[in-house]
Amino acid sequence: MEGVAGGMGHVGGLVLATLLATAVTFFLAPGLVVYPLAAVVVSVAYGWVADEATTARTLALAATVVTVLVLGLIMIYLVARSFPAFRAMGLDILTKTDGTLWASSEAIYSLVPMMWGTLVTTLIAVVIAAPLGVAGAVFISEMAPDWARNVLKPAVEALAGIPSIVYGFIGFTVLNRFMMDEFALPDFGSLFVVGTVIGAMALPTVVSVAEDAITSVPGPMKDGSLALGATGWQTTTDVTVPAAFSGISAAVLLGVGRAVGETMAATVILANVTELPDPLYDVFGNTITLTSLIASQYGIASGLQMSALFAAGVVLFVTVLGLSLGSQYIERRMQRKLGGSE
């Protein structure tokens, strides 16, 4: 810590001290926070004039520390608020599959139906988004002429900006009605419809990120393959895609993360059914997902029910954290492999 402070100098120390004073005042006396905040503005302005580089490093350090603290506090808050539900239900909250699974009047809360609904919709979304997204990225980066690439790339990125509730509403009014009319499914949605809609939502993310990864493959690698007599398609499948695999896998996992954490599309389409489908593999059932459970019940929840909703948030947090760690592992492994370390 002394080394950090020494590297900052008096300018960095001044900025850091005013930032720390602002944080302490915010928690202890929020009404007085304006005064240390004004001191932060003055110290940053002075530091920017006196030593711009040190001030920039100090602000970057402060932003990093605040980000880590905020994420840590969110995790602690989630676990603390969910603890009463875990204490009351024990492992049944994650394993109970028979009898009543979710009943506020009986203080029974099992997340198994919601976890199953989340798993099914995520798998359907991945089956749709992964192959189509990678194929689209390969086409845009390797096969499309320049004029088509200049049109398709911005169009795909624009699709990623459409609000999820719009996708959900279209899925409910168009796709769900089609399933009702043609296959006589219930009119309150199904896991298949939700998975299809979420897959379509994740598709622009997969295409955009995977295309960036494929484009970043060095040109000499492709040129060397072509010089050895490989065709353009062989170069794409045997050189370009394997070299960009870490980025492509990250793109797919980002799409999976969006599928796992999607709320509004699932809430719009699904009814509030908290039972497992019968049979279990029935993808046309309408079992609720973890996110739609939280969105549909938080407004009326209190006490143990609210704690159970926080428990659902903990399950989602752990799932997304696992996906993130998995993507980092894949990226490191591919870097070692492509670098000749294994």
Residues 6+ apart with CB under 8 A from 44: 15, 55, 59
Task: Give the Cα separation of 81 and 104 in Å (integer).
Answer: 17
Provide the CATH number for the domain formed by 102-338 in this structure. 1.10.3720.10
Asked if residue 166 has pLDDT above 70, the reply is yes
Res 310: pLDDT: 92
| Residue 107 vs residues 19, 101, 293, 307: alpha-carbon distances, Å | 45, 10, 16, 11
Could you tell me if 191 and 284 are in contact, meaning their C-beta atoms sit under 8 angstroms apart? yes
Region of poorest pLDDT, from 23-32, 126-135, 179-188: 179-188
Identity of the amino acid at 107: A
- DSSP structural state of residue 282: -
Domain boundaries, the chain: 10-89, 102-338
At 175-232, the pLDDT tens digits run 888 888 777 776 667 888 888 888 888 888 888 888 888 888 888 888 888 788 888 8
Res 337: pLDDT: 61
CA distance from start to end of the chain? 38
Res 186: pLDDT: 65
Task: Give the Cα separation of 269 and 292 in Å (integer).
Answer: 10
Res 225: pLDDT: 80
CA-closest candidate to residue 290, choices 270, 86, 277, 280: 270
Block residue for tokens 């622009």:
204
Confidence of residue 340 (pLDDT cuts 50, 70, 90): very low
Could you tell me if 33 and 22 are in contact, meaning their C-beta atoms sit under 8 angstroms apart? yes
Taken in order 257, 259, 261, 264, the sign of the CA dihedral is: positive
Average pLDDT value for residue range 28-55: 85
Beta bridge partners of 109: 102
Task: Give the Cα separation of 194 and 160 in Å (integer).
Answer: 17
Average pLDDT value for the chain: 82
Res 4: pLDDT: 44
At 221-264, the pLDDT tens digits run 888 887 888 888 888 888 888 888 878 888 888 777 777 777 77
Res 8: pLDDT: 57
Task: Give the Cα separation of 342 and 334 in Å (integer).
Answer: 10
Res 5: pLDDT: 45
At 289-298, the pLDDT tens digits run 888 888 888 8
Asked if residue 7 has pLDDT above 50, the reply is no
Task: Give the Cα separation of 229 and 66 in Å (integer).
Answer: 54
Residues 6+ apart with CB under 8 A from 251: 133, 134, 137, 205, 206, 207, 208, 209, 210, 213
Average pLDDT value for residue range 291-311: 86
